[in-house]
Amino acid sequence: MSQKWLLPLLGYVAFSVAILSVPAMVGDNVFLLNKYARYLALALPAVALALCWGQAGILNLGQGFSFGIGAYAIAMHLKLVASASNPGGLPDFMGWNNVGALPWFWEPFHSLGFAVLAGIGVPVLLASLLGWFMFRARIAGVFVAIITLAMLVVGNLLVVDQQRYTGGLNGMTDLAWLNVLGLQIDPYSRAFYYLTAGSLIAVLMAGFVLVRSKFGLILQAIRGNPERVRYFGYDVARYQSVAFATSAGVAGIGGMLYAMVLEFASPTFMAVPLSLAFVIWCAVGGRQSLLAAAIGAVVVNAIQGSLSEAFLDTAQLLVGGIFVLVVLFLPRGLGGLVEDTATRLHGAGARLRRGREAVEKSVDLPVKRGEVAK
């Protein structure tokens, strides 16, 4: 048992050390730091997906719904901070849309604490409701995928439609910097990079424990055979809803960091292509492991980033191609490849040991005198 914990834990620690030592390597190149912080922020929705898809078998094609809500929650706060000098403290886009006074539901976003709470809490709440609605009826597989996709489109349409309160297609731009206890955090700085890396590491470590807890075990059992788990007396729908909601909260955190790193929030965060991209990253890394999903997100984004710098137009073509190949030949992603190689090596060693033991044992098989001669 301890060995089962140890190797993966080493992986998580190694990844944490690696991302924490990035600033030391890139030095004062704040543009690179910003780029890497963006990759790490995007790793969070992939981790969230690994949690509900990889562990509990719930394929959420609308992860962008939670991600977007997180992004908009923090953007509302930062927009208010940036608009403090405007007449009435009103954000610029509201002025363009003839909104006279700040709407009531914008008021509490003056507080950073409330915004952060909303960025996590609202996705969790909505996902709990949707999860309860779906899983009570034992909706599974493709139907979950379609419902979450429909939910995403609804969210996207509403955000675009309610231009007066959301900035519509343009989203919210010109956001202020995050201000924690009087400390301004520039998205192009080490401090911001550490904030993002720290959040990702905290989520990964919490996820590491969660996956290996009894709760995680039940989720995996549900993924394997929900009917049997139900026979054991577990409330399958409740476990699924909790997994779904937790995953939404993680995606919300990712959305908040992503809006801060880009300094804007846009309805494209809630568009179908980005949500399917989350699925791609998660699958390329390996959906069965949270760490693998995070690495998948970083790797795919890094490839995409460097390819599009090298030859602008063909980048997407190659990314799509890589993805098709991964689905065809590595259904469990890069993480699965590493795992298989490890077990094969381990298995070969074990077989060798077993073989040696068998040989040793066979030597003193008791043979009675005269038995062979007959």
Partner 1 sequence: MAVESFFSQAFTGLSIGSILLLIALGLAIIYGSMGVINLAHGEFLMLGAYATWFMQSQLGVGLLGSLVFVFVMVAAFGWLLERTIVQFLYHRPLDTILATWGIGIMLQQGMRLLAGGELRYVELPGSLDVTLSLMGLELPLYRIFIIVLTVGLLAATWYLMKRTEFGMRLRAVTQNRAIAESYGINSKRVYSLTFAYGAGLAGVAGALVAPIKSVSPDMGTAFVVDAFMVVVMGGVGSLLGAVVSAGVLGELTAGVAYLLNDTLAKVLVFLTVIVVIRFRPQGLFPDRTRS
Q: Which stretches of the chain bind partner 1, using CB under 8 A?
A: 59, 61, 133-134, 137, 139, 141-143, 145-147, 149-151, 153-154, 157-158, 160-161, 272-273, 276, 279-280, 283, 313-317, 319-321, 323-324, 327-328, 331
* Amino acid in position 233: G
Number of H helices, E strands in the chain: 16, 2
All residues at 6 or more sequence positions from 271 whose CB lies less than 8 Å from its CB, including other chains: 64, 156
Rounded CA separation 144/75 (Å): 29
Residue with smaller CB distance to partner 1, 12 or 53: 53
- Quote the least distance from Cβ 250 to partner 1, whole Å: 21
- Quote the least distance from Cβ 36 to partner 1, whole Å: 24
Tally Cβ neighbours within 10 Å of residue 191: 15
* In contact, 164 and 94? CB cutoff 8 Å: yes
Rounded CA separation 51/247 (Å): 6
Residue with smaller CB distance to partner 1, 196 or 240: 240
* In contact, 287 and 54? CB cutoff 8 Å: yes
* Amino acid in position 359: V
* In contact, 23 and 190? CB cutoff 8 Å: yes
- Quote the least distance from Cβ 198 to partner 1, whole Å: 31
Residue with smaller CB distance to partner 1, 138 or 228: 138
- Quote the least distance from Cβ 292 to partner 1, whole Å: 15
Give me 45's structure tokens: 């929705």
Residue with smaller CB distance to partner 1, 144 or 195: 144
Residue with smaller CB distance to partner 1, 317 or 345: 317
Residue with smaller CB distance to partner 1, 151 or 262: 151
Residue with smaller CB distance to partner 1, 313 or 360: 313
Closest CA to 320 of 338, 291, 297, 300: 300
Residue with smaller CB distance to partner 1, 23 or 168: 168
Rounded CA separation 241/125 (Å): 11
Alpha-carbon Rg for the chain in angstroms: 25
Residue with smaller CB distance to partner 1, 16 or 60: 60
Burial grade of 32 (CB within 10 A; 0-12, 13-18, 19 or more): middle
Rounded CA separation 330/318 (Å): 17
Give me 152's structure tokens: 């995403």
Tally Cβ neighbours within 10 Å of residue 355: 10
- Quote the least distance from Cβ 71 to partner 1, whole Å: 20
> b vs e for 92-119, b when ≥16 Cβ sit within 10 Å of the residue's Cβ?
ebbeeeebeebeeebeebeebebbbebb
All residues at 6 or more sequence positions from 121 whose CB lies less than 8 Å from its CB, including other chains: 249
- Quote the least distance from Cβ 127 to partner 1, whole Å: 14
Residue with smaller CB distance to partner 1, 22 or 160: 160
Rounded CA separation 245/252 (Å): 10
